[in-house]
Every structure is written in structure tokens, then in C-alpha cells.
Amino acid sequence: MQRKRVNSTTKGVARLKTVGDKIRIAIVRECSAPKLGNVYPGADFTDMSYETFCTASSAIGAAVDELLYNTGSRSGDLGIGDYCLSMVQAMMDSVGKNTSLGTILLLAPLVVAGERSKPIGQVLSGLSPRDTSLVYESIRIANPGGIGQAAQMDVAQAAPPSLEEAMRFASSYDDVALQYVSEFELVERLGRRIAELALQPVLASAEQQDSQQESQGIQKSVTELLFNRAVQRIQLELLAERVDSLIVRKSGIELANVVTNRCRAMLGMSPDEERWQERWSELDRWMREQRNSAGKHLVNPGTTADLIAAAIFFCMQNELCQVPCS
């Protein structure tokens, strides 16, 4: 039976979220939180803005819904490569630049697993040569910065038969590729940690708040604030745990290690301490100031952002916590 896209109905009836809606929300929510060295509201790059991410996220989400709800029963036959290529083409058509390739590469297996109601590992073990070809084409279209050339499995060359083999080769230096050979262990762990962080303040303050006296707008603002803080914290924790793959590719391991060490020092402080925000802002400013002679940012942790966006989608897909929808 062909499925129809779910749309808003009568006033006062909540609109059910499509898969594409969840993708859009995940990308926007990651980008909306204050994050070290990355784009967020009021902290644009000269070549990339918060609005760029929002525009791209809408197109990416719509592309997934187009595949899911306009192909009907055939949607179950769509593979990871189909979703990757459709999302990348929509991104490039909408904003003309790569905002979210890593996120897309992570979202596609999660979407397929959800649609087929199968474990992610089973989906990844069923990758086909077609998936490999379409994923390679997607990467070439997005033309990500800092990718360089590889002695093997180079995306500029013909795609190998096995996407799993290609991802395994890249997993030693790229955390997005690592998810393909680790059954998305890190994405799942981050998703559960985000839910834990987002829920803790709500549970702690539930008895102190009289929700009946608060307007819906205030409640929404509180929810967004708490979720943004969870994303801000998880970024700091992840950067303190492991070097960011994009920083390593663009700037080398030494600079990536400096970022990790400085984030570890930040984790030693409580967010409640008076100087915490000041120290966080200083680190954010320092990361933004690191540029090459052409003015390109050297210390923007893009892979970390991709992992967090995928983790937020995982939260929504598994209903782990309330994710603000704006």
C-alpha cells in the first residue's frame, strides 16, 4: 500500500513528524546550540551562515520525504546510496555548498534501518555495489574540504565494490566512516547522553515549576534552552574525548590535540562556576581565529557536529527525549 505524506490537519491537532521533519529538526537543533568553533546563531562564518544550514536542512528533509512518500511500497527497496545521493543533491541545489555531507552519510543508514525495522548492523552488512557507487557520487558532488587524496579507495576514482571495505579503510582517520564499521556505537552513545543531559534539568526542577502558570511560549523557550545546553555540553565532552577528524584532515594532529587538551581543561570546571562562560567564550574565539592564509577556518570541528546531528536524529527516532521542533 502506498503511504501518504503526513500533513497538518485541523487547527489544534498536532502535526505528526515525518522522517524528513526529524532530519530537518536534527540539523537545525545541532546548529542552534552554542558550539566551540562552529556556526550557530550570531556566530556565522564568512562563507557559511546559520541561515544556510537551516535552508539546507529543509531541502535535505524534503528530499527524504520525497523518496519515502512518493515511491510507495518501493521505498523499502531504497538503499543507503539512494538516500545519500538524494539528500546531497537537494543540499547542493538549495544552497550551492556542502553544509552537511558527514551528517547525510550518517543519517542514511539510520533512515534505512528505521524504515526496514532492522538493526543498523544488519543494514550495514547488506550494502551493495550500487550503494557504494551512489555514496561515492554523493561525496564527489559535495566536494568536501580537506579530503585530499588517498592511496586507496580515493573518492576521485571509481568506486570499489564494497562500501564496507571503503569505510573500514577510512575509519582509521575519519569518525563518520568509523560508524559504518562499528554499528554506529558512538552515535547511539551520544544520543543517549544528549537525552540524559536534556532530561536531568527538567527532572530536577519539575517540582519547583508550576507549569499551569507558565505560558506555552515560556515553556518552549525553557525546553530549547535546556536542549541547547545539552548539545553544548556534549560537544565539549566529545572534543575532550577524541580529536575531531575534520580538524586533523585540514590542520594536522598537533592542532587537533591542542583543541582536545583545552576542552579537557574546560571539563574540569563546573558550568556553574563564575568564569566558566568566560573561559568557554575565550576558547571559542581562539578556535575561530585559527585560519590559513586564504582565510579558511582551520579549527572548526565539523565531524563532531555531524555526529551530534545524527545523535539528535537517533534521539527522535527512538523517542529518548523531547527535542524542540523549531
Q: Which cell goes with 289?
A: 581565529
- As a whole number, the mean pLDDT across the chain is 86
* Cα dist from 161 to 102, 107, 174, 253, 278, whole Å: 21, 22, 20, 31, 51
Task: Check residue 239 and give its pLDDT.
Answer: 98
Read off the pTM. Answer: 0.88
DSSP 264-286: HHHHTS-TTSTTHHHHHHHHHHH
Closest CA to 249 of 144, 122, 157: 144
Task: Check residue 317 and give its pLDDT.
Answer: 95
Task: Check residue 245 and give its pLDDT.
Answer: 95
Task: Check residue 29 and give its pLDDT.
Answer: 96
Task: Check residue 270 and give its pLDDT.
Answer: 82
Q: Using one digit for the tens of pLDDT, what is the confidence trace for 82-138?
A: 999 999 999 999 999 999 999 999 999 999 999 999 999 999 999 999 999 999 999
Helix (H) or strand (E) holding 179: helix 175-181
Task: Check residue 62 and give its pLDDT.
Answer: 97
Residues ≥6 apart with Cβ < 8 Å to 198: 226, 227, 230, 321, 322
Output the furthest CA–CA distance in the chain (Å, rounded): 63
Cα-based angle 131, 74, 312 (whole degrees, multiple of 5)? 60
Residue ranges of the chain whose pLDDT lies below 50: 1-14, 148-153, 203-213, 215-217
Cα-based angle 307, 142, 253 (whole degrees, multiple of 5)? 50
